[in-house]
Structure 1
Amino acid sequence: MPSTSTPQTKPAQPPPIFCLLAYAATIAARHAERELRPHGLTVRQFGLLMQLRQEPALTMAELARQIGVTRQSLQEMTAELERAGHLRRRPGMSGRTCRLELSSRTERAVYYAQAALLEAEAEFLGDALTPYEIETLRTLLRRLLAHATDDESWLP
């Protein structure tokens, strides 16, 4: 005869941060893609251009690590951005390396795309978070990224 007792319920576990970040990233990427489309950029491309803008001397390996893609994916992304006129390849420090340089047209596109993203961010967050909470979230994410990539350039 089956037992009539009910299994004890365990206290609710908080959702793993990995899952929360993944869900938030999916929703945020959807909004960001919509804002970046008129500028001819994807979220990944925009991130790559922003990283190069911030750290122009990065090697391809460092850049791939910084934006969280494989070197092969980075090669494909840079080739697309080069064809679109956003990047130029220049000789690196040694004869075997190259560095990437943003075109002046790209500087303007990144400026306007970033402004559009910040405007969309304000709309997206609305009154869900206070200005203090928004800055706290931004600071925590930057600290997390600095730790995860072992690169302090994420920090202000």
Structure 2
Amino acid sequence: MIVQVSYSRRVRNDDEGPVAADALSRVTWALRRAEWAVQARKEQRLRPLGMAAAQYSLLISVHTDPGLTGAELARRLNVTPQAVASQVARLEERGLLERRAHPRHRHIQELHLTDAGREALGLADAVIVDIEERIAEELGPEQAAQLTALLDQVADVVREA
């Protein structure tokens, strides 16, 4: 039996299973289902470009903030430094990224896009824009704007929690 405490909090009685019957219809699961669907589409559409969605995220982060270090990038992308190092090595081998010595700290290396990296990012971003336009087209401009605002609000609420 679930006792309704408020819109967002429910209390369980001990005679039930480990989760409420509505566990998969919660807001967090709806967010996760949307994330999985978007991520799968990004992977599918970026694959012909020889790029993974994680690499796109890394490249756009470096483009937006040139000179990031691997540690800063790991924090920004919410992944381990080892995961960033692995992706950086792959992208560097392909000539899309380069490491440069930090101007004041010789042991720190900054990441920068190469010309080939900027070109690859442009192609990948066109794929992402196409996915986003499809979503916005289906929702319509008003609902797309509302969804963006609601997702920003969710991010703010979770950060404050």
TM norm. shorter chain > 0.5? yes
**What amino acid is aligned across from residue 51 of structure 1 in structure 2?**
S
Deviation of residue 144 (structure 1)? Answer: 5.3
CA distance in 1, matches of 2:142, 2:98: 39
In the other structure, the counterpart of 1:114 is: 125
1:89 to 82, 86, 99: 99
TM-score scaled to structure 1, two decimals? 0.76
CA distance in 1, matches of 2:71, 2:159: 12
Worse-superposed segment, 132-141 or 110-119: 132-141
In the other structure, the counterpart of 2:67 is: 57
**What amino acid is aligned across from residue 102 of structure 1 in structure 2?**
L
Change (3 A) 1:138 1:108: farther
Deviation of residue 44 (structure 1)? Answer: 0.5
For the Cα contact (< 8 Å) 1:66–1:149, is it kept in 2? Answer: no
2:115 matched to 1:104?
yes
For the Cα contact (< 8 Å) 1:61–1:71, is it kept in 2? Answer: yes
CA RMSD of superposed structures (Å)? 2.8
Worse-superposed segment, 138-147 or 88-97: 138-147
In the other structure, the counterpart of 1:18 is: 28
Change (3 A) 1:143 1:43: farther
Deviation of residue 88 (structure 1)? Answer: 0.8
Aligned-pair identity (%): 28
Deviation of residue 107 (structure 1)? Answer: 0.6
CA distance in 2, matches of 1:66, 1:22: 20
For the Cα contact (< 8 Å) 1:87–1:103, is it kept in 2? Answer: yes
Alpha-carbon displacement from aligned partner over 1:101-126 (angstroms, at most 9, x marks no partner): 11101111111211122113323454
**What amino acid is aligned across from residue 94 of structure 1 in structure 2?**
H
CA distance in 2, matches of 1:114, 1:76: 22
SS at the partner of 2:99?
A: strand
- Structure 1 runs (4+) deviating above 4 angstroms are 8-14, 142-150
CA distance in 2, matches of 1:139, 1:94: 40
TM-score scaled to structure 2, two decimals? 0.74
Structure 2 unpaired stretches of 5+: 5-20
Deviation of residue 149 (structure 1)? Answer: 7.8
